[in-house]
Each structure stands twice: as structure tokens, then as C-alpha cells.
Amino acid sequence: MRLFLFLALGTQIVLFLPELPGHGELYVRVIWVAVASTILAWWFMRLAREKGHIILARLGLARAAAPASYVRALFDAYACDYDEHLTEELHYAAPAQLRALVVEHLAIEAGTVADLGCGTGLCGLQFRDLATKLLGVDLSARMLQRARARACYDQLVEADVVDFLRRHKASFSLLVAADVLVYIGDLAPVFAAAAAALRPGGGFAFTVEGATGSRWRALRSGRYAHPVAYVQRLAAQARLEIVARRDAALRTQHGRPVAGDVWLLRKPLPPSRRGDDGNAPCEPPASCAVGAGAD
Ligand SMILES: C[S@@+](CC[C@H](N)C(=O)[O-])C[C@H]1O[C@@H](n2cnc3c(N)ncnc32)[C@H](O)[C@@H]1O
């Protein structure tokens, strides 16, 4: 608003400039037009970065994933209030729901755990004691700053989750993604990269917002929803076993529960490491290694 007042005032002034020596008023007007159009161009670019994705989603033209620039702008601005807003107002439960599913179904070997889209670290808190090494990855520098202050992660990386996973082949015992895949529509690249980044027997636990149909859908909020049939198909394509799925109220929105699914997939063990019944032999859960600092 202040920007437009400034531009309107400046335009009034240059329009009604008195004649200056050597047609100086013309030079002032040309300079003002250049300044005002640069300011407007900057404003439009900022608007496109922050709102372009939502506008496209509302027009039914959303891309296969929210652009990184949109995610960064959204969460950099949200970082300060995120924890309080999510936990106290939206009754956010995804990290605890993921932990419950993992502990119930997966005896993970003590090993390296990556928290994909770690945000401020709410999910890291839930998985710290299951990891000998806990990595967090996120696009938003401000969210990462908050996560760093938690001193819960051994390493924090500013990156896109797919790029990060592609750089780490056969590295993780467990991947967790709480409320992150809702910013990605087409999950095929995520599943393929996750399958390659997991060690045999490793788990991939994540939440998605629910939908009907057989493919992902962009919501008016700019988030994405993923039907059960879609996740099942992609898991099969990526050769990940479905260990468990649970219906869940992930948080509230405008006072109403947001319905979603909590999934746990697993990269199969090679036949030589399976038990007699064809299942993976049980391993004790990792011991606790709380308190390591972030880099
Ligand atoms: C709703 S927050 C969830 C944060 C955290 N997992 C939690 O449970 O509190 C979503 C986070 O995912 C991050 N994010 C979204 N898309 C991403 C991507 N493609 N790569 C990396 N981080 C991403 C955002 O920056 C944001 O911090």
C-alpha cells in the first residue's frame, strides 16, 4: 500500500513540474518513469514468486510441484510463528503419528535417519532417539535456522529433497517426511530417489493429505493431495513394500480436522537376508543418542 502511495505521489509531482531550465522537467520525468517501472517490475516479480503458485492452483493450472521459490518465501516468512501456530492452534500431530507407525512396525537398525523437509525440527524431536545420525534437509533457510537452534540434528542441509536424496545412494535406515509431500504433486521422482537412498530394509515414513481418484490433485491452498491408489501404484513402481497405512487427522484447518494418511514403506531386503517366513529378521531398535549439535 505504501509503495503505491509513493508511486502515485511521485507521479503527481512529476506531472505537475514547472518548466525547468534546458527542458530539465523532461529529464526528471524520464528518470521517474524508469524508477517507477523498475519498482513495479520488482513488485510483480515478488508477487509472482509468493502468489503465482496459488493463483495457478486456483485456475487448475498448478505444476507438478510447488516451485522452490514459493516454498522458500512461504516458510521463510512463517518460520518465527511456525511452532506455536502449528502446535497450539492447528493441533499438528503428523510427527507423533509418524513415530507411532514406525515404532509399531519397523525395527530399524541403529543408523542414519533423514528428516525430509525438516522445517523447525518438530519431526526431528520425535526421531532423535531412533537415530545414530540424524540429518535434516529443507529448502527454507529460516526454518533451518530454527531447527539449528534445537540442537537436535547432527547435520542440516539446505536443499530440495529430491536433489538431496539423489546425492545419497544406499545411505539411510529411515526417511521421514511429515507434511512435506503436500508441496509436491507428482511423487514419482521422490519415490525413485527415496528407494535409491535407502539401505535394504530401510523405511520411508510420510504423511499425505487424502483425496479420491487415482492421481495427485492440486488444492486451492496450493498444497497437493494424494489418493491411496496413487501412493500404492508409485510404491510398486519404485519397488517399495507397503508396511502400513493409517487414516489420520493430521491437523486442523479453520477448526476442522484435515484428513490424511500416514504411510510406512520399506525397501525390501535381498532374499539372502530374509527370515524363513520371507520377512526381514527383527533387529532391536536403535539406542538413544540425544543431544548432538547441528552443523
Ligand atoms: C509444513 S512444513 C513441515 C516441517 C516439518 N516436517 C514438521 O513436521 O514440522 C513443510 C516443510 O517442508 C519444506 N519443503 C517443502 N517442499 C520442499 C522440498 N521440495 N524440498 C525441501 N524442503 C521442502 C518447507 O520449507 C517446510 O519447512
Q: Once rounded to an integer, what is the mean pLDDT over residues 264-269?
A: 96
The answer to whether residues 110 and 53 belong to one domain is no
Angle, helix 228-237 to helix 188-197, in steps of 10 degrees: 50
**In the structure grid, which three cell numbers stand for residue 160, read together?**
530440495
The answer to whether residues 106 and 230 belong to one domain is yes
The answer to whether residues 25 and 143 belong to one domain is no
What is the rounded CA–CA span in Å between residue 66 and residue 218?
A: 10
Q: Is residue 152 part of a domain?
A: yes
Q: Which atom of ligand 1 is nearest to the CA of 68?
A: 19
Q: Once rounded to an integer, what is the mean pLDDT over residues 11-18?
A: 87
What is the rounded CA–CA span in Å between residue 206 and residue 265?
A: 9
Q: Which atom of ligand 1 is nearest to the CA of 65?
A: 19
- pLDDT value at position 260? 94
**At residue 255, what are phi and psi to the nearest 5 degrees?**
80, 0
The answer to whether residues 118 and 166 belong to one domain is yes
The answer to whether residues 24 and 77 belong to one domain is no
Instruction: List pLDDT tens digits, range 155-186.
Output: 999 999 999 999 999 999 999 999 999 999 99
Q: Is residue 165 part of a domain?
A: yes
CB-based contact 106:38 (threshold 8 Å): no
- pLDDT value at position 109? 63
Please indicate whether residue 216 or residue 44 has the higher confidence score (pLDDT).
Answer: 216
> How many domains, the chain?
2
Q: Is residue 249 part of a domain?
A: yes
H/E run at residue 105: helix 94-105
Q: How many other C-beta atoms can be found within 10 angstroms of the C-beta atom of residue 226?
A: 27
Angle, helix 24-58 to helix 2-15, in steps of 10 degrees: 150
The answer to whether residues 78 and 35 belong to one domain is no
CA 260 to chain centre: 16
Tell me the chain's radius of gyration from C-alpha atoms: 24
**Pocket mutation for ligand 1, best pick of 162, 180, 184, 208 (most atoms within 8 Å of C-beta):** 180
The answer to whether residues 186 and 116 belong to one domain is yes
Q: Is residue 66 part of a domain?
A: no
- pLDDT value at position 276? 47
Ligand 1 geometric centre to CA of 201 (Å): 25
From atom 16 of ligand 1, which residue's Cα is the shortest distance away?
A: 183
Please name which of 182, 188, 278 lies closest in space to residue 240, comparing C-alpha atoms: 188
CATH (domain of 130): 3.40.50.150
- pLDDT value at position 102? 95
The answer to whether residues 160 and 241 belong to one domain is yes
Single pTM value for the model: 0.81
Ligand 1 geometric centre to CA of 182 (Å): 9
Instruction: List pLDDT tens digits, range 56-79.
Output: 888 888 889 999 999 999 999 999
CB-based contact 110:127 (threshold 8 Å): no
- pLDDT value at position 283? 40
Please name which of 134, 244, 267, 260 lies closest in space to residue 197, comparing C-alpha atoms: 267
Percent of the chain with pLDDT over 70: 91
SS3 237: helix
Percent of the chain with pLDDT over 90: 63
From atom 12 of ligand 1, which residue's Cα is the shortest distance away?
A: 117
- pLDDT value at position 217? 93
Q: Using the predicted structure, report yes or no on whether residue 25 has a pLDDT greater than 90.
A: no
Domain that includes residue 53, residue range: 2-58
Confidence label for 273 from pLDDT (cuts 50, 70 and 90): low
The answer to whether residues 131 and 267 belong to one domain is yes
The answer to whether residues 197 and 117 belong to one domain is yes
The answer to whether residues 123 and 253 belong to one domain is yes
What is the rounded CA–CA span in Å between residue 252 and residue 166?
A: 33
Q: Is residue 276 part of a domain?
A: no
Give ligand 1 pocket residues (Cβ under 6 A): 71, 75, 94-95, 117-119, 122-123, 137-140, 143, 160-161, 178-180, 183-184
Q: Which residues contact 120 (CB under 8 A, 6 or more apart)?
A: 79, 82, 83, 143, 146, 147, 150
From atom 4 of ligand 1, which residue's Cα is the shortest distance away?
A: 119
What is the rounded CA–CA span in Å between residue 124 and residue 135?
A: 9
Q: Using the predicted structure, report yes or no on whether residue 278 has a pLDDT greater than 70.
A: no
**Pocket mutation for ligand 1, best pick of 86, 138, 206 (most atoms within 8 Å of C-beta):** 138
The answer to whether residues 86 and 228 belong to one domain is yes
Confidence label for 108 from pLDDT (cuts 50, 70 and 90): low
From atom 18 of ligand 1, which residue's Cα is the shortest distance away?
A: 160
Instruction: List pLDDT tens digits, range 205-249.
Output: 999 999 999 999 999 889 999 999 999 999 999 999 999 999 988
Q: Is residue 65 part of a domain?
A: no
Residues listed for the chain: 295
Strands annotated E in the chain? 111-116, 131-138, 155-158, 172-177, 198-209, 217-218, 224-225, 241-253, 256-266
